[in-house]
């Protein structure tokens, strides 16, 4: 990782700069040769399983369908459901594997060389068409197989928890608020994410530095086009009701309170 990248992040964000100094040089692994079918098949196997169990299932897949090598999309499509189930895949994962194989043969999932020519968002749009493959899975492929420098997986628990720890927040940041804050890290958001993961390690070791400054995250818009939720929605309705009422008019609830006070009671 170049010193220019770390200097840029440190200038853009004092808290992240302190974390960088505490952790030291970034040790992001060099990108690997990317074989999208194999990477995504492995991701499907690992869903909701620990690494040991997932690797056992993948070994059975290699032995039963690939005759010792990772199976091709043709081999996965031709494999009976019972054989994949016997390897340890659930019905849902069997369906995802079959869909991945079919979309690979249809070139919806491109090969490694074609993938390299696409932008990050184009890759996300293509690969998330596969059943069982979400944005987070593709973001991990972008970061660790393709070495894309500007990926910020805002839905990743470790990234969000690392941000909370490093910045001294009382609660987890909303993904949209984290994405807005991360704009200042462009075009090196992959490196920033790596340091946020390290923040949790420092916290467990008791060596996480105090944030260089206190921050206030931008408010995250609600899921319905920015509409407020919860208490904010209640307050907004009250404000609209007051503005819509004639001057001096009393709402039914305030009138009821007045009657109770006159009667010497409390609500």
Return the closest-CA partner of residue 166 out of 2, 27, 22.
22
Chain-centre distance for alpha carbon 64: 34
Cβ(15)–Cβ(213) below 8 Å: yes
Chain-centre distance for alpha carbon 36: 19
Helix segments in 47-186, DSSP class H? 51-65, 73-78, 81-87, 91-105, 112-116, 120-127, 135-144, 157-167, 175-181
Which positions ≥6 away from 184 have C-beta within 8 Å?
A: 12, 13
Q: Which of 63, 120, 150, 156 is catalytic?
A: 156
Q: How many other CB atoms are there within 10 angstroms of residue 77's CB atom?
A: 16
Could you confirm whether 156 is annotated as catalytic? yes
Q: Which positions are annotated as active-site residues?
A: 156
């Amino acid at each position: 990782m170049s010193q220019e990248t770390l200097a840029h992040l440190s200038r853009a964000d004092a808290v992240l700069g302190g974390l960088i100094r505490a952790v030291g040089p970034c040790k992001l692994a060099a990108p690997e040769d990317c074989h999208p079918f194999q990477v995504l098949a492995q991701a499907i196997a690992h869903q909701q399983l620990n690494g040991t169990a997932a690797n056992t299932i993948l070994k059975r897949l290699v032995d039963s369908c690939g005759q010792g090598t990772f199976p091709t999309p043709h081999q996965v499509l031709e494999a009976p459901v019972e054989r994949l189930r016997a390897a340890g895949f659930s019905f849902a994962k069997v369906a995802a594997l079959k869909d991945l194989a079919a979309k690979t043969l249809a070139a919806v999932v491109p090969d490694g060389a074609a993938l390299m020519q696409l932008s990050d968002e184009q890759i996300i749009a293509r690969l998330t068409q596969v059943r069982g493959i979400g944005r987070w899975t593709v973001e991990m492929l972008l970061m660790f197989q393709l070495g894309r420098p500007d990926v910020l997986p805002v839905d990743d628990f470790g990234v969000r928890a690392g941000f909370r720890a490093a910045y001294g927040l009382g609660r987890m940041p909303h993904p949209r608020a984290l994405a807005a804050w991360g704009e200042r890290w462009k075009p090196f958001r992959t490196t920033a994410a790596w340091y946020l993961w390290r923040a949790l390690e420092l916290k467990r070791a008791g060596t996480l530095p105090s944030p260089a400054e206190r921050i206030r995250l931008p408010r995250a818009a609600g899921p319905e086009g920015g509409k407020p939720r919860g208490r904010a929605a209640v307050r907004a309705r009250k404000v609209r009701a007051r503005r819509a009422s004639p001057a001096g008019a009393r709402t039914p609830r305030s009138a009821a309170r007045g009657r109770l006070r006159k009667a010497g009671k409390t609500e």
